[in-house]
Structure formats: structure tokens, C-alpha cells
Amino acid sequence: MRNRILVPSLIVLMGIIFIYGLSVGVYKIFPYEALDSSLDIIIEEKAIEDNQFIIQADLDSLIKIDDEEDIDQKRNELIEFFWNVGSIQHFDNITFRPQLPEVESDISDSRYNNFQNLKRIDKLTVEMEYGINSISYLFTPEKSNEKLILYHHGHAEDFLSGKDTIQFFLDRNFTVLAMTMPLMGMNNQPVVEIDGLGEMKLISHNQFQLLEANNFNPMKLFLDPIEINLNFVEKEYDFNRYSIVGLSGGGWTAVVYSAIDDRISDSFSVAGSMPFYLRVSERDIGDYEQSNIDLYKITNYLELYVLSAYGDDRKHIQIFNKNDPCCYSGNGYESYEFFIQDKLLQLGEGNFQIFIDDTHIQHKISNTVLEYIAKNIG
């Protein structure tokens, strides 16, 4: 009697499990994300294992920086690439590029009404070529520690999604300049006319390659808003330290911008980039800016890390989510971490570190990382 009840019950249970398993795969319901992330990590670690001969290649040959003269040359070449201006004076004197953002002071935005230690919000708008704009918010605390955090949210939605990060720094009396990559968040997506192609709405960074011309490099669209906003901040405020914290595409931006402009003392790139030889998963390839060959022929990622970290009282810290479902997970960083540190010792200035966050399986800046960043500023 018991068997006649047990067997049908087991069949029904197995059927339910089978159907739910199919639903997980088809509709991506719980625990799809965790399983998918785990599978990606297993595949990636296997790929890294299979490519140890690449990882153990001659890294020394990839970093053509041996002294301060090489540092200046690399920065000049980057400035020439982005702006067709061949001198680091580009950043030494804001009158060289006098453009400033349009500023709306003390605006009201109900999305931030519950913020604590917030004195006011200023809206900064940078107008660029092809009608592309960049909208940033400058969050000023009631009580200031005279330090600026430039928070760059990257691709995903708007910096509104990073409210917890902004509030974290406000709670510690930092002024926060929050921004997002071109075409993302509050930034516009204009319709442009391209010779031979007609009108086109810009919705993706990959379309920027269609804007390339002899006298215009669309890669500058990623960096102009930071430079122009910092020009304004320098003119109107007296901060004693600038730091940049970026997530994902914002992490990439943190690397590239701080490599050029040494006004940035501390740069923190969260899930932002890896050297090309470690990109063994399709999800790590990135879009237009991450794989622009003209840029990386001038300065590859390893060299960018050196440039971002080099200088008196400067540091660059890479932060990876060990189980990130988006990108740059795993432990590939072990192949170059100490190599970069040794290079900086040779150069005599600068600090480079890598921090691994294994407290979650998301593509985000966790509270653990925020606490780590706060302890490493200044």
C-alpha cells in the first residue's frame, strides 16, 4: 500500500522538478542568475587554465615605461590621440581649454529628497560635438571635508542607481560629482546625420566609430565631461583632493582619465577592465571604447594602470567582483598585480593595488568595497 502511494508521489515530484528546471532555463527565474554566473566562472577559469602560456608571456615587453620621460611621452601621445593637442599643459592651465559646463545651482530633484547631509544639488551640463550632452549632479554636503569624489556610474541606467554609493560618501562629508557615460541615463541620444549613411539616432557607443574623422575623435566624448567639470570645480571650489570611483564602464573611464590627468590623486576602478590577454570570455571583450585598437596601440591596459598609479601621493586600485555575472571575474589579475607594483617601485612613485570582493555575485559596488575605498582615500 505504501509503495503504491510512494511511487506516484515520487513521479509527481520528479515531474515538478523537471518542469521547474525547464522554467529556470527558459524564463531565467531563480536561481538562474546564480547558476549562470557559476557556469561562466567555471568556463572562464578553465579558459584561463588553458591559456597559461599566454598569461605567462613576456609582460615586461608590454610595458614600455622605464622613467618619468616615458610617462610624459605616453601622456602626451594620449592627449594628442583624444584632443589633437600635443602637450600635458592641456591640463596644467584651464585657460588652454576654457570651456566650462552650464550650471544650474541648487536644483530640486525629488528622487534625492531623502538624502542626508545634503546642502544642495547643482546640475552641470556639458555640450559636445554632434549635439551630444553630459548631465552631472554636484552633491554638496552640509558639512564638507574639502575632498571631491567623482562617481562615474558607467553604462547601466543612471547614477540614480548608485544612490547608496552617493549617500555613503555624503555621510562621510565628501562632495560628490556624479556622472554617467555618453548616451546613458539623463544624457541625450541625439539624431545625427552621417555622410553617406543619412540620419541615425545614437543609442550605442559602438555607433561612435561612424563619427570618426581626421579632425574629430569620438573617444573624447568619454573624457570631455570630466575635464570640463573639473575645470569648473577648480575655478569655484578649493578642494584639497580629487578621487574618482567608477563602476563597469565608469571603472574603465576612471582608468583612462586618471592615466592622463594627475589632478586625480586616487582612482578606483570597479569591474572596469582587464588586459587583453586575459579576456578569454566573450563577455569581457567590451564595446567601442574598451577595444579601440588605435588607443591601445599607443598605450595598452598595463601601461594605463601604471600611468593611473604613478605620481607623488597617487594611487590606482583595481577592484574585481570575484563572482561578477557581467565581466572581469575570476583571478586573472594574479598574472600582473605584482608586476605593476614592481614597475612603480622602479619608477620611484605611485601605488597600485588590487582588491577582490567575494561577498556577493552581482555587478555592483558593495558596502564592503565602499568601506575599503573610504579607508584608502588620501
pLDDT tens digit sequence for 286-343: 899 999 999 999 999 999 999 999 999 999 999 999 999 999 988 888 899 999 999 9
Question: pLDDT: is 281 or 213 the higher one?
Answer: 213
pLDDT for residue 2 is more than 60:
no
Residue 104: Cβ within 10 Å count: 12
Q: Give me the helix-helix angle, 32-50 and 2-27, nearest 10°.
A: 70
Distances (CA, A) of 116 to 49, 119, 139, 167, 203: 47, 9, 11, 7, 34
Q: DSSP secondary structure string, 323-337?
A: T-SSSS-SSGGGGTH
User: What is the C-alpha separation between 224 and 246, in angstroms, rounded?
Assistant: 16
For the chain, give every domain's residue range: 2-30, 62-375
Architecture of domain 62-375: 3-Layer(aba) Sandwich (3.40)
Mean pLDDT of 120-141: 98
Helix, strand, coil in percent for the chain, rounding step 5: 50, 20, 35
- Hey, which residues does 122 pair with through a beta bridge? 138
130: left (phi over 0), alpha (psi -120 to 50) or beta: left
Distances (CA, A) of 141 to 102, 158, 343: 21, 21, 38
Residues with Cβ within 8 Å of residue 106, at least 6 apart in sequence: 120, 121, 122
Residue 154: Cβ within 10 Å count: 26
pLDDT tens string 211-253? 999 999 999 999 999 999 999 999 999 999 999 999 999 999 9
Grid cell listed for 108? 530640486
pLDDT value for 53 = 42
pLDDT tens string 152-165? 998 877 999 999 99
Question: pLDDT: is 255 or 10 the higher one?
Answer: 255
In angstroms, how far apart are the furthest CA atoms of the chain? 92
Mean pLDDT of 117-130: 98
